[in-house]
Amino acid sequence: MTIMKKPVVWIVILCFVAAVAAVRAQQAQPPAPPQAPAQVDRQGAIVRNVNLVEVLFSVVTKHEKLVTDLYKENFKVFDDGAEQEITSFSQPTDLPLRIGMVLDTSNSIRERLKFEQDAAIDFLFNALRRGKDQAFLMTFDDGAQIIKDFTGDTGDLRDTILKQRAGGATSLYDAVYSASDHLLKDSPLPPGPNSDVRRVLVVISDGDDNSSNRSRGESVEMAQRAGVIIYSISTSTDWVTTGDEKDPAKRINRKYEKGEGDKVMEQLAGETGGRAFFPYQIDDLGQSFLDIGDELRHQYALAYSPAGRSVDGKYHTIRIQTDRKDVIVRARKGYYSIPIPAPGMPTRP
């Protein structure tokens, strides 16, 4: 019996040595390169982050007339000054709008609150199409809050706007950041295979900010990441009146110099490919609102993958050039090259 046990013992020892050697060999191998994190899109499909830059843009004449008959070969796109290959291009298409209406209800605009309410209501009644477009309302003072979530009911939106009162500090940048994030994550998608929408922020404010946790740069970055176009309407009262102040027909109101708040409103719009408006009274905005609605439904779209560069977390400039010399291209000025956060994850560390 003793003679039979020795071969068994040696077999056990040899198996143990082989197992230890295999473990050590696995530990010595370098780890596999990390894969791009998979994400689940809003239709349930698994997608991966790719280094793709998508840009919506409008083309207008010097008199703000839309130009909608250009093709891919009419454009060049430059990333940090280097020309890129346009990998996809589409001519203007009439997509559903998802609009965030952001109203300043802080104490600084108390005297202009009625103007803000009228402007917001006029815009929504001019822009929203029943059964196709939707909007939500956000107000901000000490903080930002959604007071009416996405709906296509303009009457309900109007009634909610008219109930607002002014008071408190001003957190403009927090509001722009939060509203852009809401448009990115929570915009209702239309039924059917084509789930594309146009995301828009209309910000009505005097441009002041004295209580935000976010910076101006962070709010612009969030809007750019969300593909949001900002149209800003300044409520500034820094106007100069000349002529006969008692006779409206002879009174002339001019804004000779933009104040700091005006410049903020201009930057928010310009960095995202939108427009800033500086009206003296609500009647000055009627045609502008019609023009904005028309522009949003007649935008071009292109995409490109920056050559020789991976996602690096830095800011990069975009410039779109056309061979038409008599037109202006209106597009966002740049983007932050960062991974798209997975659903349910915070947008910033």
Q: What is the pLDDT of residue 14?
A: 53
pLDDT in tens, 219-249: 999 998 888 999 998 888 765 555 555 655 5
Give the confidence band of 255 by pLDDT, cuts at 50, 70, 90: low
Binning pLDDT at 50, 70 and 90, where does residue 310 land? Answer: confident
Q: How far is residue 288's CA from residue 114's CA, in Å, rounded to a whole number?
A: 19
pLDDT at position 252 is 57
Look at residue 141 and tell me whether its pLDDT is greater than 80. yes
- pLDDT at position 314 is 83
pLDDT of residue 43: 31
pLDDT at 251: 54
Q: How does pLDDT run across 35-44, given as a tens digit for each residue?
A: 333 333 333 3
Name the pLDDT band for 32 (thresholds 50, 70, 90). Answer: very low
State which amino acid sits at residue 308: G
Mean pLDDT of 316-339: 89
Backbone phi, psi, residue 161, to 5°? -60, -40
Q: Is the predicted pLDDT of residue 76 greater than 90, yes or no? A: yes
Which residue, among 266, 136, 294, 247, has the nearest Cα to 201 in the 3D structure? Answer: 136
113-127, 220-234, 329-343: segment of lowest average pLDDT: 329-343
pLDDT value for 248? 58
From the list 336, 227, 231, the residue with the least C-alpha distance to 288 is 231
Q: 55-69, 87-101, 330-344: which range is least confident on average?
A: 330-344
Residue with the two structure tokens 């966002």: 332
Q: How far apart, in whole angstroms, are the C-alpha atoms of residue 188 and residue 208?
A: 31
| pLDDT for the residue 244 | 54
**Distance, CA of 170 to CA of 213 (rounded, Å):** 11
Break the chain into its structural domains and give their ranges: 52-92+299-336, 97-240+251-296
pLDDT at residue 135, as a whole number:
97
**Beta carbons within 8 Å of 300's beta carbon, 6+ residues apart:** 56, 57, 58, 59, 70, 75, 89, 90, 91, 92
Q: How far apart are CA 343 and CA 349, in angstroms?
A: 14
From the centroid of its chain, how far is CA 253? 33
Does domain 97-240+251-296 fall under CATH 3.40.50.970? My reply is no
Averaged pLDDT score across all residues of the chain: 80
Determine what percent of the chain is predicted with pLDDT higher than 70. Answer: 77
Q: 5 pLDDT exceeds 80?
A: no
